[in-house]
Structure 1
């Protein structure tokens, strides 16, 4: 029975009654929004060299020729440098990823090699979640984890091994926290990045690290309350740091996502186990009341410099296009990392050559016939329209 044919008034009444249980939550979040409004700070833009890096979206880099599937893992920075490139078959095993840090292997991924060498581990040792690679129902998620790990390896490479001639801000698309690494591995990455920051400081160069996301659980949960209280309705760029108690209310999962070295409690062995190195801020880079608000993570060790760092980020974000008031360096990296239709067709042909390289000419002709005649002509018509 269609909804329109049901007792619509009864449904409406039940929804309203159910909402009454949620109403106190809205009031609580409005109080949070009022607190944030009282702490809003004006942003003063600063000029700085801003660099970002982005991996191409997984769906845009998946090559099919049934039954074969290959996923590209490609990370490009906003300067046009290809930082990492890899291709993972759908039936690859987790142990095969260790060839990416074998210096004699043609499949070597340089940033991953540097990270694993400095951590004294192999690729599989970085994450429990990689073990799902090649298993039905888990492989796609494992490739996503591997892509995230490669992005962090590139971030580490930019922080530690890249020489910067002036103050620079490195922008990660996404927060400065991750569930991809083991809880005892991430603190080591944090320690090495902090040391790299200090090494740059000794040369009188500040290399700042921030994470910028297009969405977050905190912003989603607070969105209605922020609008009702007009928290960011200012005619100038502004920001606010999100207190920990408010952030905790917006999450429903493990505290390791919130805790950093400074806030985590050591275990019996004296080790800190956590998966975050950032403090959360909500930032409006635009100078109009209704401009978008973005979640921004600033590295824990640079929170005292938040005014300057967010000012530097604002200078890069205000000319943002096509997404207004979003860091331009991230958008540049996206454009450079994107694999377009023609490139995908070329890569599909490469996959076809790989599949048919050991076939007889007659068999190759049969597969070619399937390739050309088995295409979805409707999709081609609209793709080329």
Structure 2
């Protein structure tokens, strides 16, 4: 469950991502604008034959998210939030790396702690799937899933290293 503060933080992070990616939306609009002159109206016509066709409506929906915004949030079953960030596939890796290592946001601490433990100062060293964005080249959105999995592992790593399990175990004896 998200409280008001978490929603406000997510909104702020999403707005920042969208501001950074506004160039992509402008490029899409420019690309589609060319088609404006080629649009033709479908005119009703009379028909003399009928064809029965079956179709499965299924679960149809239209989803338009030109920014491909991803909310990365790790929460346990007691609704304790361990990690929260908002990224897009075009998030600059340099900025993400800096946010993790230099930021004061406690929600990014587990990733920072894991990287420090491993002696890594660059997120691209954690996986070959996470690479710096090359200008003019398409960005693969698959790195976001890898980042999400790394965040989950970092959170588990942080919990295992910091939680006092022995105190609870001794109490049960």
1:279-332 Cα shifts (integer Å, max 9, x gaps): xxxxxxxxxxxxxxxxxxxxxxxxxxxxxxxxxxxxxxxxxxxxxxxxxxxxxx
TM-score (norm 2): 0.51
Contact conserved, 2:130 with 2:147, CA < 8 A, in 1?
yes
1:80-136 Cα shifts (integer Å, max 9, x gaps): 200100110231132222123224455960100111111111322211111176863
- Structure with the higher fraction of residues in strand conformation: 1
User: Secondary structure in 2 aligned to 1:96?
Assistant: helix
Alignment length, in residue pairs?
Answer: 107
Residue 152 of structure 1: how far off its partner (Å): 0.3
Distance verdict in 2 for CA 1:65–1:90, change over 3 Å: farther
Residue 14 of structure 2 corresponds to none
Distance verdict in 2 for CA 1:150–1:104, change over 3 Å: closer
C-alpha separation in 1, matches of 2:67 and 2:88: 8
Contact conserved, 1:129 with 1:145, CA < 8 A, in 2?
yes
Residue 129 of structure 2 corresponds to 129
Q: Aligned ranges for residues 316-355 of structure 1 at < 5 Å?
A: none
- Give ranges in structure 1 of 5+ residues lacking alignment: 1-62, 168-203, 206-385
User: Secondary structure in 2 aligned to 1:130?
Assistant: coil
1:250-293 Cα shifts (integer Å, max 9, x gaps): xxxxxxxxxxxxxxxxxxxxxxxxxxxxxxxxxxxxxxxxxxxx
C-alpha separation in 2, matches of 1:108 and 1:159: 17
Residue 142 of structure 1 corresponds to 143
- Give ranges in structure 2 of 5+ residues lacking alignment: 1-17, 19-62
Residue 80 of structure 1 corresponds to 79
Residue 137 of structure 1: how far off its partner (Å): 5.8
Contact conserved, 1:76 with 1:82, CA < 8 A, in 2?
yes
TM-score (norm 1): 0.25
Residue 150 of structure 1: how far off its partner (Å): 0.2
C-alpha separation in 2, matches of 1:65 and 1:160: 41
C-alpha separation in 1, matches of 2:96 and 2:106: 9
Residue 160 of structure 1 corresponds to 161
Distance verdict in 2 for CA 1:81–1:107, change over 3 Å: closer
